[in-house]
Structure formats: structure tokens, C-alpha cells
Amino acid sequence: MKLVWFRRDLRTVDHTALHQAIQSGEPVCAVFIATPGQWQQHDMAPIQADLIYRRLAVIRAELRQLNVPLFYQEVGSFDESVEAVISLAQRLMVNEVLLNIEYELNECLRDQELKQQLLALGIACREFHDRCLLPPGQVLNKQGEFFKVFTPFQKAWRVLASVPKVTTTSPAVRPQTTDLLNVDDCCEPFSYPRISSAAWPVQTNQIRDLLRTFCRERVGEYHQQRDFPALTATSGLSPYLAIGALSVRQCLARLYQESQHGVLSAGAESWLNELIWREFYQHLVYFQPSVCRGKSFHPWGEQLIWHHAPEYLQCWQQGVTGYPIVDAAMRQLNQTGWMHNRLRMIVASFLTKDLHIDWREGERYFMSRLIDGDFAANNGGWQWSSSTGCDGQPYFRIFNPVTQGKKFDPEGDFVRHWIPELQGVSKRWIHEPWNAPCVSSLSYPQPIVDHQVERTLTLSLYRKAKDNGCHDS
């Protein structure tokens, strides 16, 4: 019997470990281990926990159609997940455990421990690279090292990549029926806090339709519209990629299938580039595990002097900084569990370079709210914005929240939607309401800092940190 350990790969279509197990022709069982202690430690958002909970019910039903029972267990700590899998493997007398590789440091250490213990028991363990189209180690520079800058990485990636095949399991190759199909399959207890994710469908056909609709109807304009948060221009698929309800292979295969004779449009090329960014950050986590321990990618980043300003941090979190585009973005995050990508860069720049607050505070808060929270992408994005990361924006590039608002929300529609206090403010003043003639009647706060003053301070702080970092090396 084969045992497949599901983690952040909550799908039955194009699931490498499951596919290989079923192809063996032997009986197959699956298991999902909930680890609320580790989720809490990693600040998993309650809305993402709810998405996982709802998706597990779908997976359980789909696996049942494949004659594969899903066992569910909740354990007290992350380390205990290994014990739980081994205990189940012994109880079921399986001859092999199959799993898809996760690249974060703790997850790698967990799987190493699992393999060692299984080996001692005479149980085989097979791992598969399933999270990326091209796994870490396959995209290297001429010196055989991993890329530390995105542009050459994506050029090398494009040379190596090909249109992927999506694997499906035909009813004709279902594994042998086991007498375990009537296992108690309720996902209880699921003690981690949950907030409703009902706005996000979880049925496989619904997720597939979202992908198809985007690739057919919106991807063509993606390169022109993707930066404007008032438009419905992005794919909305990031939550499904984050929990593995959708694979990158499915995304790429559909993108090419909807293209004209296999030639991608400018919009499709732009979205492909975003998927390559996702792969880039997954590779970085694997090759630079120190980022999983809260370290800056560039050592000089540890020399930065951050301000301890809990009152400013709270203003930023609650969306009351006095800068409309920042506040609208944070309110979108707090109310929906999602934030537009352009806005993620704006609010990250504001926290680190206007408020001088450690990027780790922002990273942590995002993970605690995002339905699409993914460690590699979130860490990579925050370090990029704070200029401490791999391929980060130059430290002297500091987003002006007023000009960013005017450029990407020119009519003020997005701001007015999320900040009702500014409903009556005209387009001219919507991004700097403190200058509006009606400012005295607004219940909206004044800016908590002066951007130009803070910009000057940021340049000084970063120069000192880089100089000290050079001296230390």
C-alpha cells in the first residue's frame, strides 16, 4: 500500500505524488496533518485556514472517487507531524510514503527527519518536485550557482522551460479498492481560528473556470491594466497557488492553450513573468535558508536602524495614515484578506521608508491577513520593497504615496470605495485631501508623517547601513 502525504498541494489533478502512487496499481491512502502550533508560529491568516479547511472537504470527496481514503489528524506541534505520518504508515502497513517537496527550511528539516525514520523502519520514501515548473538546482548560472538577480534568472528559465503537460487520473487506472474507504473522514478537530473565505470558491471545476476565464478574457490586457487596483485585471488565482489547489503547470498549460498558435500576447507574457517571479522566490528560499530565519538577504540589511514606533505601526495596520492610497490598500487587506500587487509595493515602501519600521513587521502582518499568504513570495516581496533582498529595488527608489495614487488610481475610484470618508472629495484632491478646500469638514486624518522629510532620513539611514556593512565585510 502507498501513502500520500498532502501538505500545501491540495488538489487531485496534476499532483505528482498522488499520480505516481496511483500508477503503481497498489491500494493508496492519503493523509493531511493539521499543525496549528506551526501555523500560529508562522502567522497563518485565519481566512487562509478557512480556505484550507473548505478545500480539504473537496479533496476528500475527489479522493473517494479515486478509491483513496483521506486520513486527517491534528497534532500539537510541527515536529509531531512526522510521528503522526510514521504511526499511520505502520498501522496501515504501507511499503512507501510519497510526498511533494516543500522548500522552506523547517519543512526541509521535517522531511529529512521523516526519511531517516522511514528508512530505519524499512519503508521507502519518494519525493517529487511539484511546486515549481523548474525545481531549484535546474536554473543555474554559468558558474553553476543560483541566480541572485531576477532578469538573468527569467531569461535562463525561459530557455529551459517548455509547455508543461498536466497529469490527470483516469477512472480506468484507479487503485485497488481498500476496506478503509469508510474511514471517519471529518476534518475535526480543526482548532485553528477561521474567518470566512466564502468569497473564494473551492470546487475544482470553479477554480479551473477562473483560470480559463482569465486566460481567455483578461490576460490580453494584463500588461496594460495590471497596475490599476480599481480594475478587475489580475488573475485572482494567488490563493489557489498558495495552498496548492492549482499548480503552476496548470496555469502555464492553460495560458498556452488559449494563445494564438502557441504565441503569447504581450499580456500573457506579462503574466508569465509573474509566475516566473514566483519560481524565483521559491528557489531563493531553498538556496538561501537564512531568510527563513528572518535574516536580510544582503548582510548589510542587518545594519539598518529601524524605528520602534508602535503607534505608527498601528496606524499603518488600520489604514489611518492620512495617505489615501496606503489606507485604502490596508483596508482592502483587512476586510477581504487580499491586496492588489501594486498596492503591496506601495504600502511596503511606506512602512519601511516613510515610517522606518522593520520590514519584518510588515511581513508578519501580511501573513496574518492574506488569504494568499505564501512565505517565499511574501518574504521576497517585503525584502524587495525594503531593498534588503535579492534583486531588491535600489534603496534610493522610494515610492511617493501621493504620486503613486495619482498614477495608478487617477480617478480616485479605488480610494473612494475603501475610504467612505473621502466620498465627496474631487479627483483633484483625492490623493492629497489635506489640501482640499473642504478639509475642515472631513473626518479623515492628517498625514502622520511628511513624505519629503522621511525620504531624506531614509536615504541617510540606508547609506550608513551600506557603509557599515561594507566595513564589516
Picking from 287, 321, 345, the residue at the C-terminal end of a domain is 287
Instruction: Choose the catalytic residue: 95, 106, 273, 341.
Output: 341
- Under 8 Å between Cβ of 430 and 418: no
Instruction: Choose the catalytic residue: 5, 157, 277, 418.
Output: 277
Residue 330: predicted pLDDT = 98
Length of the chain equals: 473
Does 36 share its domain with 109? Answer: yes
State yes or no: is 382 an active-site residue: yes
Task: Give domain status of residue 146, yes or no.
Answer: yes
169 is in an annotated binding site: no
Task: Give domain status of residue 108, yes or no.
Answer: yes
Does 64 share its domain with 149? Answer: no
State the pLDDT confidence band at 186, using cuts at 50, 70 and 90.
Answer: low
Share of the chain above pLDDT 70, in %: 95
Q: What is the pLDDT of residues 385-422, one digit of tens each?
A: 999 998 767 888 899 999 999 999 999 999 999 999 99
Does 308 share its domain with 345? Answer: yes
Task: Give domain status of residue 461, yes or no.
Answer: yes
Does 306 share its domain with 396? Answer: yes
Q: What is the pLDDT of residues 250-294, one digit of tens each?
A: 999 999 999 988 899 999 999 999 999 999 999 999 999 999 999
Task: Answer yes or no: is pLDDT of 177 > 60.
Answer: no
Does 388 share its domain with 240? Answer: no
Picking from 254, 287, 320, the residue at the C-terminal end of a domain is 287
Does 6 share its domain with 125? Answer: yes
238 is in an annotated binding site: yes
Q: Which whole-number Å values give the CA distances from 338 to 71, 366, 414, in the listed order?
A: 31, 9, 14
Does 260 share its domain with 323? Answer: no
State yes or no: is 306 an active-site residue: yes
130 is in an annotated binding site: no
Residue 13: predicted pLDDT = 97
281 is in an annotated binding site: yes
> What is the pLDDT of the chain when averaged over all its residues?
94
373 is in an annotated binding site: yes
Q: Which residue has the higher pLDDT, 207 or 391?
A: 207
Which domain covers residue 374, as residue numbers? 299-468
Give backbone dihedrals phi and psi of 127, rounded to 5 degrees, phi first: -115, 150
Residue 107: predicted pLDDT = 96
Does 75 share its domain with 140? Answer: no
State the pLDDT confidence band at 171, using cuts at 50, 70 and 90.
Answer: low
Task: Give domain status of residue 192, yes or no.
Answer: no
Does 160 share its domain with 116? Answer: no
What CATH number corresponds to the domain at position 321?
Answer: 1.10.579.10
Q: What is the pLDDT of residues 303-332, one digit of tens each?
A: 999 999 999 999 999 999 999 999 999 999
Instruction: Choose the catalytic residue: 5, 359, 384, 418.
Output: 359
Residue 473: predicted pLDDT = 44
Does 257 share its domain with 114? Answer: no
Does 122 share its domain with 146? Answer: no
- Non-local (6+) Cβ contacts of 285 within 8 A are 103, 104, 105, 291, 292, 375, 376, 379
Q: What is the pLDDT of residues 340-382, one digit of tens each?
A: 999 999 999 999 999 999 999 999 999 999 999 999 999 999 9
Instruction: Choose the catalytic residue: 127, 274, 421, 454.
Output: 274
Nearest to 247 by CA among 336, 168, 187: 168
- Non-local (6+) Cβ contacts of 412 within 8 A are 324, 405, 422, 425, 427, 430, 431
Instruction: Choose the catalytic residue: 5, 200, 338, 382.
Output: 382
What CATH number corresponds to the domain at position 101?
Answer: 3.40.50.620
State yes or no: is 39 an active-site residue: no
- Non-local (6+) Cβ contacts of 67 within 8 A are 27, 28, 174, 175, 176, 177, 178, 181
Largest Cα separation within the chain, whole Å, is 77
Residue with cell 556593512: 469
80 is in an annotated binding site: no
State yes or no: is 316 an active-site residue: no
372 is in an annotated binding site: yes
- Non-local (6+) Cβ contacts of 313 within 8 A are 351, 355, 357, 361
Q: What is the pLDDT of residues 25-69, one digit of tens each?
A: 999 999 999 999 999 999 999 999 999 999 999 999 999 999 999
Q: In total, how many domains does the chain have?
A: 3
Picking from 237, 265, 287, the residue at the C-terminal end of a domain is 287
Whole-structure pTM value: 0.94
| Side-chain half-sphere CA neighbours of 257 within 13 A | 14
Task: Give domain status of residue 355, yes or no.
Answer: yes
Task: Give domain status of residue 333, yes or no.
Answer: yes
258 is in an annotated binding site: no
Residue 178: predicted pLDDT = 57
Task: Give domain status of residue 392, yes or no.
Answer: yes
270 is in an annotated binding site: no
What CATH number corresponds to the domain at position 272?
Answer: 1.25.40.80
Does 317 share its domain with 235? Answer: no
279 is in an annotated binding site: yes
Residue 441: predicted pLDDT = 87
Task: Give domain status of residue 85, yes or no.
Answer: yes
Instruction: Choose the catalytic residue: 26, 62, 306, 454.
Output: 306
424 is in an annotated binding site: no
